[in-house]
Amino acid sequence: MNAKLAQRNQRVVLEIGAAVEVAWFIIIFSVDLSVRLFGLLLKLRAMLEMKYFSNMTVQFLWRIFIILFDSYL
């Protein structure tokens, strides 16, 4: 039981870390929107390969996309 809980906690920490890293890259770096989106796609690909891509991350990244495109227009 403790092993399953530890594994679940590790997965949550990895997922939150990945989402924060993506947000940090998008928000902090003042680069062109196309560069930001390319970086985001690379990060999403890495997250999919590591298989820690859940509903929470999808919703978080979707909101970032909305913010980016809203500020771009």
pLDDT digits (tens, 9 = 90+) for 39-66: 777 777 776 666 656 666 767 777 777 7
Mean pLDDT rounded to a whole number for the chain: 70
CB 25 within 8 A of CB 38: no
38 vs 15: CA distance, rounded Å: 20
- Domain-wise residue ranges, the chain: 2-72
Structure tokens at 73: 């227009």
The verdict on pTM exceeding 0.75 is no
61 vs 57: CA distance, rounded Å: 6
The mean pLDDT value for 15-39 works out to 69
What pLDDT does 56 receive? 67
